[in-house]
Structure 1
Amino acid sequence: MRALVLHAAGDARIEERPEPAEPGAGEVRLAVTRAGLCGTDASEYAAGPVMTPLKNRHPASGVLGPVVLGHEFIGVVESVGDGVDRFAVGDRVAAGAGVWCGQCDWCRRGQTNLCRSYWTYGLSADGGLTQRVTVPQAMLHPIAPHVSEDNAALAQPLAVGLHAVDRSRVRPGDVVVVHGAGAIGSFIIAGLKAAGAGSIVAVDVDEARLATARKLGADVTVNAGEVDPLDVVQEHTGSALADVTIEASGVVDGLSRVQRLTRRGGTVLLVGLPKGEVSFRALDLILREIDVMTTLAHVCDTNLPAALDLLAARDLAPLLVERVVPLDRVVEDALTPMVTGTARGKFLVDTQAGAS
């Protein structure tokens, strides 16, 4: 079967790979129908290895060497192993991609995304940018029959956005600023809308992203390259500032940018991953008693079903998906525009296109 295999920075190849193992106890074999690409995949291709175990064996997955990318994928159940009681052959399912032990302190507290031995298909081991894969049933959830393949393929990144919304502690009626309306920022805006945020302010420097943010539910959009977001937020709130600010751009000074938009006693949530040391004004945070929160990945048992429910109620694919490409063209038609900055939206991969 064919797969996209990452060997080194700038070296990702479509190769023939062995068929996956037959499912063991608690496992399911999938025919992958769609896989999504995100900034993490682009970073691994452009400048990796960052998270992929290309040089050192991963301590939890045990994998070393070239890795099949793809941590956002859906598929159809082809076969099931012993003890699988949630799925049957022919079921459509979305994968959470993360693997947790279920026994450590974090898992017992429901923080499976922080599991002591957490690892991810497509980053820590071979993932879903291939035609078939065998995975644990625990990381799978069913897709409603009426949800399209393209829309369902957004489930995993949307789950990440919903976990961020949970971590932000947003309440109905809150004014929320989302700083960075790119891929993860878009999913957060969709989640905030579903959570009943009172008003959503999206901040970016790209007018196309801001236009998408409005379609997703942003009430106010701000081009930070033209207008000071503080002026807009003050005018929008009567100088009260935002109840919650979410930094989703990953710029190094992101925290200092959003804290000035946050009201006394408000909350800042850090989502974007800065590539350097972060600067902020600690005294201001302390004197105004602003809470600083962080978020990582998603909790599969809660956030992935919630994402699938939202996708069953709302078709986000027309707003977010730029293009669906065949597996054989992933590097040229998807990863390259993502790395060069010419991508305008989400890329999905039809892994079965051209399959015999």
Structure 2
Amino acid sequence: MSAGAMRAAVFHGPGDVRIERVDAPGAPGPGEVVLTVLRAAICGTDCAEYLHGPVLVPLQRRHPVSGHLGPLILGHEFVGVVDAVGDDVAGLRVGDRVVSGAGVSCGSCSWCLAGRTNLCARYFTIGLHAHGGLAERVRVPASTCLAVPASCSHDHAALAQPLAVGIHAVARGGVARGAGVAVIGVGGIGAFVVAAAAGRGAGRIVAIDIDPGRLELALRLGATDVVDARHDDPAATVLELTGGRGADVALEASGGAGGPATAIALTRRGGVVVIIGLQKQPVAMDLLELTLREIDVRSSMAHVLADDLPGALELLADGRLGDAVCDRLIGLDALVPDGLHAIASGAAHGKIVVDPWS
């Protein structure tokens, strides 16, 4: 049973993440488990909170669903061992190794009943709206947890949640075997979108970015072609590669202001554009072009645990994807200088994984 104090990465405000001793989670309530965290990964969202937050963290106003208010333990990508099991938990036992999908849904609203748990009326995210996994222990709903295959290492299992986000985006685009796909922005989630498209059997996969390191990683993850947007026009290049047809599905993962327009320009007639990257400001879209070429525009948010997390663990099980994506393993004390600062400066060329016990 978890008790006493533990080390954790606590967000206190912009530029202020502290590794400090805090109270460990208490006993799990009904439907909950307490995990001893084995590994946690960090991403651009964690970095955005550190640099510019609070964006999502309820630091100054209580979250309407999670009830959290104030400094918060970050970490929404993590794997751990079940340390304690609350009442009304089925299928999990002490000692099981699990990943958490981090997204908490109610299970009873109309969106949940329709299988779209990521749109739940009472949705919140562990590590952004409630204490998360960048700590030695974390308490989570058992419904967010899924057993990890024995062949999947701790480091790689920590990647399951962001990979599930990529899998969900590819599913939203309806990517079919042999489809021509373009991914705009292949850092962070975009890299996992490439991997998910390859795993789904897409044909030509064109990765577009301005960072040569990211483009090199995209090739290792299954991209067939890359476009360095610093030098080459993405739309013109994709049209050339596809004989003037355009991509069947374009997935915009950069969040750049010009990304949606580029995605539309390089998509074929009757194709699909999926918006994943979050726009800081409203952007203009050419609705005439959309109408004349009958392009579907969709969006993708987070993942549906039951649909997407099992596929993520399956892709990670043999180790090749994780080996390609992992940039470094650091201890919790190094989180700020070697983790958050590395992401912010562009020095990270893949996922940074944290061992909270070192």
> What displacement does 1:183 show?
1.1
* Aligned: 1:282 with 2:287: yes
Question: Do the aligned residues in 2 keep the contact of 1:325 with 1:350 (CA within 8 Å)?
Answer: yes
- SS state at 1:316 partner: helix
Q: Which residue in 1 is equivalent to 2:125?
A: 120
| CA apart distance, 1:324 | 1.0
1:249 match? 254
Correspondences of 1:201-240 after superposition (within 5 Å): 201-240=206-245
Whether the 8 Å contact between 2:235 and 2:262 is mirrored in structure 1 is: no
Hey, what's the Cα distance between the residues in 2 that align with 1:315 and 1:86? 29
CA distance in 2, matches of 1:284, 1:342: 38
Whether contact under 8 Å (1:265, 1:291) holds in the other structure is yes
The amino acid of 1:219's aligned partner reads T
| Counterpart residue identity of residue 7, structure 2 | R
> Partner of 2:51 in structure 1?
46
Partner of 1:25: 30
Please say if residues 152 and 319 of structure 2, whose CA atoms lie closer than 8 Å, have aligned partners that are also in contact: no
- Give the superposition deviation at 1:140: 0.2
Task: Pick one of 319, 322, 325 that aligns with 2:327.
Answer: 322
Q: Establish whether residue 258 from structure 1 lines up as the match of residue 263 from structure 2.
A: yes
Distance 1:196 1:254 in 2: 25
Read off the aligned partner of 1:174 and give its amino acid letter: A
TM-superposed deviation, 1:314: 4.5
Matches within 5 A, 1:81-100: 81-100=86-105
Alignment match of 2:195 (pick from 167, 190, 202): 190
Instruction: Report the 3-state secondary structure (helix = DSSP H, G, I; strand = E; otherwise coil) of the residue aligned with 2:37.
Output: strand
Contact 1:93 1:140 (8 Å CA) reproduced: yes
Q: How does 1:129-140 map to 2 (within 5 A)?
A: 129-140=134-145
Shift of residue 350 of structure 1?
Answer: 0.2
Confirm whether residue 170 of structure 1 aligns to residue 175 of structure 2: yes
Equivalents in 2 of 1:342, 1:193: separation in Å? 26
- Following superposition, the deviation at residue 248 of structure 1 comes to 0.7
Q: Which blocks of at least 5 consecutive residues in structure 1 are unaligned?
A: none
Return the offset for 1:235.
2.2
One-letter code aligned to 2:188: A
Q: Deviations over 1:145-176 (max 9, x none)?
A: 11111111100000000000110111111100
Match of 1:111 in 2: 116
Task: Provide, for residues 320-346 of structure 1, a one-character-per-residue CA deviation record: whole Å limited to 9, x for no partner.
Answer: 111111111111111112123322221
Deviation at 1:98, TM superposition (A): 1.1
Note if contact 2:14-2:51 (Cα within 8 Å) is conserved in structure 1: yes
- Displacement of 1:224 in angstroms is 1.1
Partner residue of 2:62 out of 54, 57, 60: 57
2:350 — aligned with what?
A: 345
Give me the TM-score of the superposition, normalised by structure 2: 0.97
Aligned to 2:81: 76
Query: Deviation at 1:230?
Result: 2.6
Provide structure 2 residue ranges, at least 5 long, that are not aligned to the other structure: 1-5
| 1:308 corresponds to 2:281 | no
1:34 to 24, 33, 39: 39
Render the CA deviation track for 1:265-298: whole Å, top value 9, x for unaligned: 1100001111112122111011111000000000
2: CA distance, partners of 1:242 / 1:316: 24
Aligned pairs, how many? 353
2-11 vs 317-326, which moves further: 317-326
Deviations 1:296-318 (A, max 9, x none): 00001111111111111453222
Over the residues paired in the alignment, what is the CA RMSD in angstroms? 1.0
- Give, in angstroms, the shift of residue 47 of structure 1: 0.3
Q: Secondary structure at the match of 1:124?
A: coil
Partner of 1:200: 205
* CA displacement, residues 169-223 of structure 1 (integer Å, 9 cap, x when unaligned): 1111110000111111110111101111111011111111111111111011111
Whole-angstrom distance in 2 between the partners of 1:16 and 1:164: 37
Percent identity over paired residues: 51
